[in-house]
Amino acid sequence: MEERAVKHRVEPLVLAHIGVAFAMFAVAAVLGAWQMMARSPFGAPYASPETYFASVTAHGTIMAYVMPILFIMGFGYFVAVTALDRPLPSMRLAWTGFWLAAVGICMAVATIVMGEASVLYTFYPPLTGSVYFYLGLVIVVVASWLWVALMIWAMAAWKRENPGHPVPLAMFATVTNAILWLWTTGGVAVELLFQVIPAALGWTQTIDVGLARTLFSWTLHPIVYFWLLPAYIAFYTMAPQAAGGRLYSDMMGRLSFILFLLVSLPVGLHHLFMDPEHGTGFKFVQTMLTAVLLAPTLLTVFTICASMEIAGRLRGGRGLFGWIGALPWDRPMVLATGLAFILLGFGGFGGVVNMAYGLNAMVHNTSWVTAHFHLIFGGSVVIMYFAITYEIWPKLLGRQPLSLKHIRGQLWLWFVGILLTTLPWHALGLLGQPRRVATFDYSNPAIASWGPWTEASVVGGFIMLASALLFVWNLATLYRSSPDVDRMRYAIAVNPPQRLPKALNGFALWNALVLFLMVAAYGYPIGQFFLIDVHPALVHHFESGG
């Protein structure tokens, strides 16, 4: 019997998750380009506040929730099976999760399309939409919790069968991300279940807006690390292998993922710097914690550069920088990693501006913020999602791609597009352009100067749209060539670990630390709403006209 690239019957499951993720991604990409036209001097067909804000809600809900959750679930199943070389603990549970997610997505998207949920992906009570929107998203989150359970279960079962052995880094990092996600969803789950859904059902007529925003902020920062960690998994375990080198340090990789788990959670208040329901004390504390969060990314940048340097020098690169040119840039995973690092530089810069306490006042809720998260997520992270998919697609379909040129072309198009889209937004942010505006009055001389920047951005947006469609096209049509596919190989460290302390092979200590940090950072900021005299606001239902 011919050896299959992926054992343990998981291909349909992974293909289903990633296929749906990117099908919805393509739709959201079209909406994004349309939105950009609508708010530019060009204008767009069918544009009105109703259609614009429904589109923004759809674009945000798909890009921030649906696409990443499904992609990460699918990728996680792939890693669990290939890195641990054992079947998933329960295929039935995994498929239940998929279908549950599908139901939730249909519910949420239906309400958006019907115009009954134009509350954006950040919800922002007291604006309240159809209860089916929120319920749909709750169902998607519950589905993702099934994935979390499977990831933890898979790792625990492997450890039982391999006592004392280090969990392969790719799986250790995947489970770190799963645990991170579980903690992350706490805030939004409580906000939806106890505040927003009762309001949407009409069971309550008022809502404590400060508490809702604070609970949402708990989720809002670590969710971006939930999105980011799979890209880092590719940096650590796939890029060095693709480049023909070795991972410089497996241990530092584990430490970085642990640091992300610890420090990405207790920092959400930096999304509320401009909010009047919190004082300087806790805003300052969470600023300092956010500064610590810079460390694992900067450590990763070095470790991956060192790993790539090994590969480059093995290929004959000499001198201080010769190894860079010597790398096999024709390989998509290598190319994507290089492009991702450049985008990470720009996006990281924007982030360090946003997190800097008083400095946030200069940019909050301007296009600078839009620029930052599109660049870092849409840019460096999504380009790695593309690369990961290109890497595992042959294993899933059992076919090699016909052309790497089309793949590289799509990646370059994305790189150019995201920069052309987001760099002008940084300038517009400094000029004071507000977020979430459907249309600008370009005849106003003060606003007219924003026009050219916006137009440049629109061109970038359409380049991105072309790249997004080309990506889906590549996946659908390129994989026809020879059925000679190797099984999945993850990067090997320079010094593969033989034995590891429990702390680098499990999560008991880290979960305890997360609990401590969350209580310290969020205990009072959340608790205060039950202690001070708050005046809740009236619920504003959208269906009644907004």
Q: Which stretch binds another protein (CB under 8 A): 244-252, 403-411, 413-421, 503-511?
A: 244-252
Sites for another protein among residues 84-123 (CB under 8 A)? 85-86, 118, 120
The 10 Å CB-count burial string (b at 16+, else e) for 206-229 is ebbbbbbbbbbbbbbbbbbbbbbb
What residues are labeled active site?
Answer: 221, 225, 372-374, 435-436
Q: Which stretch binds another protein (CB under 8 A): 22-30, 310-318, 372-380, 451-459?
A: 310-318
Break the chain down into helix, strand, coil percent, rounded to 5: 70, 0, 25
The strand pairing partners of 537, in sequence order, are 207
Instruction: Select the residue interacting with another protein from 152, 285, 313, 451 (CB under 8 A).
Output: 313
Can you tell me the distance from the alpha carbon of 349 to that of 353, in angstroms, rounded to the nearest whole number? 6
Residue 515 CB, shortest distance to another protein, in Å, is 25
Closest to another protein by CB, 183 vs 453, is 453
Closest to another protein by CB, 511 vs 528, is 528
Output the six-digit token pair for 244. Answer: 């023909």
Q: Does 439 engage in binding with another protein (CB under 8 A)?
A: yes
Sites for another protein among residues 18-47 (CB under 8 A)? none
Sites for another protein among residues 195-224 (CB under 8 A)? 208-210, 213
Can you tell me the distance from the alpha carbon of 67 to that of 17, in angstroms, rounded to the nearest whole number? 9
Sites for another protein among residues 266-305 (CB under 8 A)? 272-280, 283-284, 287-288, 291-292, 294-295, 298-299, 301-303, 305
444: left (phi over 0), alpha (psi -120 to 50) or beta: beta
Q: Does 323 engage in binding with another protein (CB under 8 A)?
A: yes
Residue 279 CB, shortest distance to another protein, in Å, is 5
Among residues 107, 136, 233, 123, the alpha carbon closest in space to that of 178 is found at 233
Structure-token match 């790398």, residue found:
327
Q: Does 476 engage in binding with another protein (CB under 8 A)?
A: no
Contact call for residues 94 and 150 (beta carbons, < 8 A): yes
Sites for another protein among residues 145-204 (CB under 8 A)? 158, 161-162
Among residues 545, 525, 543, the alpha carbon closest in space to that of 199 is found at 543
Q: Does 399 engage in binding with another protein (CB under 8 A)?
A: no
Sites for another protein among residues 517-536 (CB under 8 A)? 532-536
Binding to another protein by CB under 8 A, coded x per residue (else -) over 407-436, reads -----------------------xxx-xxx
Output the six-digit token pair for 226. Answer: 């939930």
Instruction: Select the residue interacting with another protein from 252, 339, 343, 518 (CB under 8 A).
Output: 252
3-state secondary structure 204-248: CCEECHHHHHHHHHHHHCHHHHHHHHHHHHHHHHCHHHHHCCCEC
Instruction: Select the residue interacting with another protein from 74, 89, 104, 126 (CB under 8 A).
Output: 126
Q: Are strands 206-207 and 537-538 parallel, antiparallel or unpaired?
A: antiparallel
Q: Does 543 engage in binding with another protein (CB under 8 A)?
A: no
